[in-house]
Structure 1
C-alpha cells in the first residue's frame, strides 16, 4: 500500500470513475464513497456504498471507516453532486435539492475528513465547482447557486486552514464530455468539451504534494468551449 491515501466521493459517476482510474494508475490508495451500492471495487480499493453525504452522521461514519481500513487520509476529492436544468418559475423548485447534492455533500465530507487531513504532512481537499456558475444562463439558477456555494466554501476553508498542512482548491469545468451531455446536446461538438481524463489529471495535481503552493484557487478547466 502506498503511503498516500485519497477518498473520492461520488466515485461511480463518469468523472469519479476517471479520477479513480487515474489515481490507481498513479499508485495511490483509494477509498470510494458513494450513494450508489452494488459496485465491485478494484483490488485494494475500499468501497463504501449506500452513503448519504447530505447526512453529517453518515459522512462521519464513512471517514471513520476509511481510517479504520488505511490508518490515514491525505486527500479528499469532493466529486459527489448533481445537475438539473430548471427555470425559476418551475412548479417543483430544485434549489434545495441542488444545494444538498452539491454543497451539503462537500461541507459534510470536508468536516468529517478534516481531523484526519490535518495529521497528513500534505493534506488536500479538491472540490468541483463550475465555470457556468460564474455567469449562470437561463435554467442554470439552482445549479449555479449551489456551485457558487462550493466556490465560497473552497475559498473560506482555504483561509481557515492556512496555518495547517491542508490546502483547499476547486476546479471549475465547463461542459464535461459525458454520455448524458452528448445525448442532451446532439448538435454540439464534444471535441470542444472537457474530457473526464483531462479533468482528472488537474484534480490529481491539486491533490498531490506538488500543489502545496496553491490554496483557495478556483481553477478554470474549460476546454475549448
Structure 2
C-alpha cells in the first residue's frame, strides 16, 4: 500500500472497531448493552492494535493528526507530507464510522437516548467546562504522544507484537484519564465520525454538538506539540 492508503485503511479499521464497541455498549437491544466503560476502553485498545498492525509497514501507522504533527515538529517526518496524512486519516475515520453505523443500523433505528447515539460517533464531556475539558484532552494526548515517541524507537523489538505497546498505552489512558471527556486524543477520531453523525439518516438523532467539537481538535494538537517539546528537551 502507499502511505496514503496505509493511513486510510489503518484509521478506518481503528474507527470501525472503536465506534463499534461504543455502539455495542450504549445502543438499545445489543448483545453488549450496558457492559460499561472497561469494555469500551479495551475495545479501543484492540482497535488501535489492529489499525497500527495493519498499516505500520506502509505508513508507519500514525493514524492520528496529533502523531503526525509531533513527528513533523521533531523533524522525524517531512512537513510536505503532513496534509496528505491528515487527509487520509480524516477520510479513513469517516469511512470507518460509516461501516460501524451500517453494522448497527437496526439499533440506531430503535427508540433511544439521542445523547447515547451521538456518543457512539464522537466524544462529549461528563461535566461541561471549557477549560477543564480542554486541559484533559491536552494531558491525555501529551501522555499518548510522549509514550509513542519512545515506543517508536524501542531498544528491543517484539516482532509481530510491536503494535501492542501502543494499544496498551491507549488502554491505560482510557482507564485512567478517559472519564472526563471520553478521551478523543485524536482529532480525526472525533471529527470524522462527528461529520458522519451529521450526514447519516439516524432516527431520533440530536444535533452533532459542533459547539464542543473544537476541543477534541485543539486539545490534542496542543498536547502533541507539548510532548514533542518535552521529548526534544529530554
Q: TM-score, with normalisation over the residues of structure 2? A: 0.32
Q: TM-score, with normalisation over the residues of structure 1? A: 0.33
Bigger strand share: 1
Bigger helix share: 2
